[in-house]
Amino acid sequence: MPSTTYSSTRGSPSQKSISFSKVVMSGLAHDRGLFVPDEIPKIDMTEVETWRNLSYADMSTELLSKYIGSDEIPLSDLRSIVTIALSSFRVPEVTPVVKVGGHYVLELFHGPTFAFKDVALQMLGGFFEYFLKKGMNGGRLAVLGATSGDTGSAAIAGLRGKEGVDCVILYPKGRVSEIQERQMTTIMDPNIHCVAVEGTFDDCQDIVKASFGDKEFREEVKLGAVNSINWARVLAQQTYYFWTYLRVTDDPSVPPGSLINFAVPTGNFGDILAGYYAKRMGLPVGELTVATNENDILHRFFTKGEYHRRNINKSISPSMDICVSSNFERYLYHLLEEDAGELKNLMTAFEDTGRLTITGARLKKAKQDFSSARADTEETLAVIKQYHAEHNYMLCPHSAVGVSALIQNNSVDNLSVALATAHEAKFPAAVSMAVPDLPTPPPQLAKLFSMKTRSQTCACDAKAVQDFVKMRIAERVNGGKKKDLGSKLGALAVAVGVLAVLAVVLTRKH
């Protein structure tokens, strides 16, 4: 089967029918739109049944091959990319589906950084390396990202040691939690560069945006992005919806084909969008619930049709603190029945006014596609406390927002799944407000506090950051060459030495 091609949501003619590899390497389309599949592959449920006994990696390979044909990645290569990516998870099921309090919890936090973003970023790192080795982008890619915490560490864990890739992560100095900072700065691979910017997260994001807008810089360092809009992330995240469907219907009392409901803690709409595509492929998905914290632009959209921007409230689930959702445009495009012209008008108006409103049949359709719920700090803490007391189960503040949505929607049953997006030990300050005696953190997190760290402080200035990036990349490219030459000379010296010894031995014999 040939690969699915992609086009920009904003319809520019040069951004149509683009291959998977180009889409992965470029991230954002040149017309500022997002890439969406030209056709969503349909899946045959009798085939999905044949995946029931496969490992997570093998099941994922089958699923991804519906989008990525052997013309772009031969099946055996795809299998090895996926298998290597998932081998960094600490449990063989990768994302265990466990029964808690009458419903299921999908545990997405068993990867290297203890949050769900690992599933996609481990695979994205594999895709980058694969395409660079094939010579794309001149064999080199510099990834520049800004983080307020979770994305940076997951990106670093996915890209460390990857050939041809340099990864520069900007974070606001003194404004990320110590665990999150250490998850980034204790990684010593030479291709990882952490920069503590003397500014806020928004300043960091502005520097990233300015750097992408700077053509000269972009081309000089071969810049790429790993933010949540990369299609490969949405694609990789579809694997756990299929995995969960299979695990829930392993229960003999739940016949195959039963509709499974998912409640998803949502910020940039990437995680839940994967569930939407899985449903469009034909997976039996019932309700998809958008669960938000106080930053509830998505909840307001799915209840009132109002996608109206407001300022950010700092919450106890910081990875969902957004004022606009970067993946929302993809769903809006489908809601508008793939009308790129209208999408572009709506998004351009939104960028100017901060307001986008839908009504009538469209709002009705949006409400059929998604339900939504919102949990504030008090509700979130109450759920953490309740699950600990009644089920001896710890939820992180993000996961608790998802569970709260299930409870609010009266969906606590054996067909419903709440996605648990992070391990509670990453957010001890928030969780201890609900459960004062926290369980011992996993050793991988506890040991971060005694490890060596490395980070560069930088002024809050795009030029200063760009100079640093240029310098580090030049060092790496030249340093790499020197080292290559050095090791070649070294090997030559050894070879000469061995020959000399042999010669001596041989002469002596005679």
Ligand X SMILES: *Cc1c(COP(=O)(O)O)cnc(C)c1O
Catalytic (active-site) positions: 117
Show Cβ contacts of residue 403 under 8 Å, excluding neighbours closer than 6 positions.
Answer: 105, 263, 383, 387, 395, 418
For 182, the enclosing helix (H) or strand (E) is helix 178-185
SS3 40: coil
User: Residue 365 pairs with which residues in a beta bridge?
Assistant: none
**Smaller CB separation from ligand X, 319 or 371:** 319
Query: Which token pair is 414?
Result: 């054996």
Distance in Å, CB of 370 to ligand X, minimum: 12
**Smaller CB separation from ligand X, 63 or 290:** 290
From CA 311, how far away is CA 468, in angstroms rounded? 31
The phi-psi region of residue 275 (left if phi > 0; otherwise alpha if psi is between -120 and 50; otherwise beta) is alpha
CA 375 to chain centre: 23
Neighbouring C-alpha atoms within 13 Å toward the C-beta of 401: 31
Query: Which token pair is 110?
Result: 């068993």
Distance in Å, CB of 271 to ligand X, minimum: 4
Q: Sign (positive/negative) of CA torsion 291, 294, 295, 296?
A: positive
Residue type present at position 236: A
User: Residue 165 pairs with which residues in a beta bridge?
Assistant: 141
For 36, the enclosing helix (H) or strand (E) is strand 35-37
**Smaller CB separation from ligand X, 245 or 269:** 269
Distance in Å, CB of 381 to ligand X, minimum: 16
- Cα–Cα distances in angstroms (integers) from residue 313 to residues 109, 249, 269, 486, in the given order: 25, 39, 18, 54
**Smaller CB separation from ligand X, 131 or 427:** 427
**Smaller CB separation from ligand X, 164 or 267:** 267
Which DSSP letter does residue 439 get? Answer: P
Distance in Å, CB of 269 to ligand X, minimum: 5
From CA 107, how far away is CA 89, in angstroms rounded? 12
Distance in Å, CB of 324 to ligand X, minimum: 11
**Smaller CB separation from ligand X, 217 or 333:** 333
Query: Which token pair is 188?
Result: 């010593």
Query: Which token pair is 385?
Result: 């406390």
SS3 336: coil
Distance in Å, CB of 101 to ligand X, minimum: 20
**Smaller CB separation from ligand X, 117 or 472:** 117
Distance in Å, CB of 270 to ligand X, minimum: 3
Question: 416 φ, ψ to 5°?
Answer: -115, 140
Query: Which token pair is 113?
Result: 């950084």
Query: Which token pair is 373?
Result: 């719920």
Q: Please give the span between the terminal C-alpha atoms of the chain, in angstroms, as a whole number.
A: 67
Query: Which token pair is 233?
Result: 């992330």
Distance in Å, CB of 222 to ligand X, minimum: 26
Residue type present at position 497: G
**Smaller CB separation from ligand X, 15 or 319:** 319
**Smaller CB separation from ligand X, 61 or 228:** 228
Question: 277 φ, ψ to 5°?
Answer: -65, -40
CA 62 to chain centre: 20
- Cα–Cα distances in angstroms (integers) from residue 383 to residues 291, 298, 375, 434, in the given order: 14, 21, 10, 9
- Which residues in this chain contact ligand X in the complex, by CB under 6 A? 115, 117, 150, 228, 265-271, 319-320, 398, 421-422
SS3 9: coil
Distance in Å, CB of 469 to ligand X, minimum: 24
* Tokens 């055996």 belong to residue: 76
